[in-house]
A and B are shown apart, each in its own frame.
Chain A
Amino acid sequence: MSSTSIPRQVYLLASLNPYQGNWTIKVRLTAKGPMRHYNNTRGEGYVFSVELTDDDGTQIQATMFNTAARKFFEVFDLGKVYYISSGYLKRANKTYNCVDNDYEMTLNENSQVEEAVNEPVLIPETKFNFVPIDQLGQYLHKKELIDVIGFIQHVSSSMSIRRKVDNEIVPKRDITIADDTIKSVIVSLWAPLATGIGNKLLDMFDASPIVAIKSLRVSGFGGITLSTITNTIIDINPNSPESHKLKTWYGSEGSTTKFEYVGSTFKTGLINDAPSLYSDRVGLDYITNNLSLGEAKPVYYTTRACMSFIKTNQSMYYHACKTCNKKLTNNVGSGYSCEMCKTTQTDSNLRYVVSAKFSDTNGEAWMSLFADEAQTIIGCSATELDNMKSKDDGGAYQTQLKKATWVPHVFRLMVAPQEYNNDKRQRITVKIVSPVDYAAESKFLLDDISSTQS
């Protein structure tokens, strides 16, 4: 892999083409993507990409698969300069490649990468080109990636989404940010940002930190949401003039201002993208009176309701595998085994699986709650609840559950019919729990009243 130090002919990136392979380039690594696992019709493997910039300022994306990926992942460090030769060039695939070059490069195990040790390491400063939140509308459904800066208003709990393309479960977290255009927007953080930075933001969100985010996709149907991609960069409380300006504005006016979601009205329904909590609002009686809802494909609604009854003698949690969250088989006396991961373990996570009755002003319905949502409603983790149950006479356990009843929340529900012993039933699952914003709820009700009056 490592060449001799014979002076070599260095080519400029701009001069490279697929028909002449005998080149060496001298480039700085200006971006390094994460190692990703893929599984598609052509097989499975590992891949990662880097962005290379030469003296001229030309940039090119280089991708490595499997053996080459493993070989070069540790070699490539952000900001360092490398001599590279024996790579392949081909036309850039704009779906996966946002770098400005007609070509992209692939390196395989025979490619040569050597660090130029005499060159200074220069980690490039992320260059942002912020779009004010109220201007996001013009970027809707365009391929262009945008940058935003705003302060955090809300951080959701982590959600598990099944990715349609490969059936894999990926974590997602939604954050709401706002800026001085008095508009707010939801940014969906996908793995690894959902867990990494996402967890950090969840811990610090009451300090309303400023985040500067680079490379977001704009999407939405009637409303606007932003989504992260593999190359998205998030800086928390950056030391930049825009960040300071926003922090000052927040301190003087921003903390008491009322914000509106950009591009949305209360009645807008968003099905696939992050829903507004005011879209598809129904009462519980609407759902329970219509058993064929969600027949072809599950349907989603939002509602405001209280948990009114929870059976205290049901089994509210299960022993879950620490890696994949599937239910563990209890090998009495010798720990647990996981059928999915094919391992045995002595330790497990307790995860919620709860069935409870909910009520609102018009009706009531039984619903299923899992994990994070159950934890938000019950107010403690499954492990803590289990500890309360076995302590003394279980008084603390009963009190905890009682305290959780008759507390209003706003829910996002998934509804589908279910056959049970030839009986047509309904399965309602709580997908998201949100606190009630009383001012916004009042506005929504006033809106509703005036629309029924006319």
Chain B
Amino acid sequence: MDTSSPAVLVNGDLLRGYVGQRVRTVIQVVRPEANGLTGRSTDEKQIVVKGQMPAPLTTFVEVIGVADSAQSIHAEIVTNFGDSFDTSNFNQLCQLANGEYRHLFI
């Protein structure tokens, strides 16, 4: 397993702290775009994703890639996560993973 550049679990708010770094998040697809999509994070922030998308897209997707700004990710891997997803659970996970338990994740 390649652990050289681990992706940090983020939501909309936490993304700003990792610009230029590898991140992963789950977002709700709002609008597919020509070369990506616009999505809504689990803490209700807009996130733009650029890159190749799976077709067809489900309501929720996981995006792993490099954050190129506080609101956008350059995607390496996009995975369909289905049409039902508990966003509040994921949001709390992001907070725990970046809070006092971050040593367990990175």
Contacts and interface: CB of A to CB of B under 8 A. Distances in A.
Given A442-B93, A443-B89, A446-B93, 12 more contacts: A256-B83, A256-B84, A258-B86, A439-B86, A439-B89, A442-B86, A442-B89, A443-B86, A443-B88, A446-B89, A446-B92, A449-B96
Interface string B85-106: 0101100110010000000000
Contacts of B89: 439, 442-443, 446
Interface of A: 256, 258, 439, 442-443, 446, 449
A396 B84 CA distance: 35
15 contacts: A256-B83, A256-B84, A258-B86, A439-B86, A439-B89, A442-B86, A442-B89, A442-B93, A443-B86, A443-B88, A443-B89, A446-B89, A446-B92, A446-B93, A449-B96
Nearest 7 A/B pairs, CB to CB? A439-B86, A442-B89, A446-B92, A256-B84, A443-B89, A439-B89, A446-B89
B35 to A, nearest CB: 29
A361 to B, nearest CB: 14
A442 B91 CA distance: 11
Contacts of B83: 256
Contacts of A258: 86
Contacts of B93: 442, 446
Contacts, number: 15
Q: Is the interface of A mostly helix, strand, loop or mixed?
A: helix
Interface residues of B, number: 8
Nearest to B100: A453
Interface string B59-99: 00000000000000000000000011010110011001000
Nearest to B96: A449
B60 to A, nearest CB: 12
Q: Is the interface of B mostly helix, strand, loop or mixed?
A: helix
Contacts of B96: 449
A182 to B, nearest CB: 15
A140 B86 CA distance: 32
A240 to B, nearest CB: 30
A366 B96 CA distance: 34
Nearest to B83: A256
Contacts of A442: 86, 89, 93
Contacts of B84: 256
A50 B67 CA distance: 73
Nearest to A443: B89
A442 B86 CA distance: 9
Contacts of B88: 443
Nearest to B59: A256
A263 to B, nearest CB: 22
A111 B89 CA distance: 67
Contacts of A439: 86, 89
A439 B84 CA distance: 10
A296 B58 CA distance: 54
A437 to B, nearest CB: 10
A446 B96 CA distance: 9
A439 B83 CA distance: 13
Contacts of A446: 89, 92-93
A446 B99 CA distance: 14
A449 B95 CA distance: 12
A143 to B, nearest CB: 40
Nearest to A442: B89
A403 to B, nearest CB: 24
A411 to B, nearest CB: 22
A447 to B, nearest CB: 10
A443 B83 CA distance: 19
A446 B86 CA distance: 13
Nearest to A441: B89
Nearest to B85: A439
A258 B84 CA distance: 10
A85 B96 CA distance: 76
A442 B94 CA distance: 13
A73 B93 CA distance: 63
A258 B86 CA distance: 9
B94 to A, nearest CB: 12
A158 B96 CA distance: 41
A323 B88 CA distance: 50
B20 to A, nearest CB: 30
Nearest to A438: B86
| Residue with the greatest number of chain B CB neighbours at <10 A, chosen from A256, A258, A439, A443 | A439
